[in-house]
Amino acid sequence: MARFLFWNVNGRSLDSLIVPIVRDHRIHVVILIEPPSIETLETSLSAVGPFRRVPSRDRFRVYSRFRGNVFVPLTPHLTDDRSDFLQLRYPGMEDVILAITHGPDRRNYSQNYRAMFFARLALNIAGIEEGLAHRRTLVIGDMNASPFESELEGVLGLHAIQLDSLARGTSRVVLGDPHLFFLNPMWTCYSQSPPATYYWNNSGPHEHFWYMLDQVVFRPALRSRFRLPSLRIVSQSGSRSLLTTGGFPDTVNASDHLPVRFELTLQRASS
């Protein structure tokens, strides 16, 4: 079993909040998005277990509790500073591809730019999968897009559909070409409290207020191994709430995003 926690900490050092979450949820892998410039979490996590930092791009920080160097860096065809790719190679288990991403936000980037970013991310993933000859892939990160937007659901993006939308098969044909699926379990979190990971009141005529920007999606090959009941938006760290008294993300004492945790069952490799 591998338990993951990921959090866009908005450049803040939140060790005192992260460590209790890691302890209480028995996390194995911690992934920070937009980490602080000074690294202190590896030392702080030693109070919980023997975590070590996994090399990654500056936009991310990855910490693993697994023994040994079980994460191997992967090189995509086209590189950028908003995505990173790792191979989880736990001894005796089938390997898993882990793509970490931080999508461009709509306030600073055009729709065309965002569309091109997700199209390239999908191409990079497909290339890595072809090289490793399997599609056991997880994509984790702050997508800066909602599950129902074209960057996530469309065939020109990740093509990540609702979990229950797939009756069978791993792809569908559009304009004569097959397009592989990702499955998106984050839809189930809309019924939780809080209902999403990011709150924004733009005072416009049409506003969602709560946005599911932070997501994990996976290929159908991992459907039976992803433990859906384990998927949670975390709003508590020990006795401290990550929310204000009004029920919104506490941007003063924590982050403007809420963390997400989930579990993945690792499967033994065939001999």
Residue 159's CATH number: 3.60.10.10
Q: What is the mean pLDDT of the chain?
A: 94
- Report if residue 270 sits inside a domain: no
- Report if residue 218 sits inside a domain: yes
Report the percentage of the chain scoring pLDDT > 70. 97
For residue 206, name the pLDDT band (cuts at 50, 70, 90).
low
- Report if residue 31 sits inside a domain: yes
Whole-angstrom Cα distance, residue 213 to residue 6? 12
Question: CA separation (Å) from 168 to 71, 138, 185, 223?
Answer: 31, 19, 16, 12
Contact 82, 117 (CB under 8 A): yes
Whole-angstrom Cα distance, residue 130 to residue 126? 6
Q: Which pLDDT does position 177 carry in this prediction?
A: 86
Residue 145: alpha-carbon gap to chain centroid: 12
Q: How many domains does the chain have?
A: 1
| 205-220 average pLDDT score | 89
State pLDDT tens for residues 217-249: 999 999 999 999 999 999 999 999 999 999 999
Contact 114, 145 (CB under 8 A): yes
Beta strands in 197-247 (DSSP E): 198-199, 210-211, 214-218, 226-233, 236-237, 240-241
For residue 271, name the pLDDT band (cuts at 50, 70, 90).
low
Strands 160-162 and 171-174: unpaired
Cis bond upstream, residue 76 (ω within 30): no
- Report if residue 271 sits inside a domain: no
Residue keyed to tokens 């990971």 = 197
Q: Which pLDDT does position 208 carry in this prediction?
A: 73
Nearest to 249 by CA among 14, 23, 4: 14
Long-range CB contacts (within 8 A, 24+) of 234-242? 234/5, 234/21, 234/25, 234/258, 234/259, 234/260, 234/261, 235/193, 235/194, 237/16, 237/17, 237/18, 237/20, 237/21, 238/20, 238/21, 238/24, 240/17, 240/20, 242/17
Find the domain containing 234 and state its range.
2-264
- Report if residue 126 sits inside a domain: yes
For residue 101, name the pLDDT band (cuts at 50, 70, 90).
very high
Instruction: Specify the higher pLDDT residue, 118 or 1.
Output: 118
* Sign of the C-alpha dihedral computed for residues 237, 33, 233 and 197 taken in this order: positive
Whole-angstrom Cα distance, residue 176 to residue 181? 16
Q: How deeply is 38 buried, as exposed, middle or buried, from its count of CB atoms within 10 A (0-12, 13-18, 19+)?
A: exposed
Structure tokens at 221: 């090959």
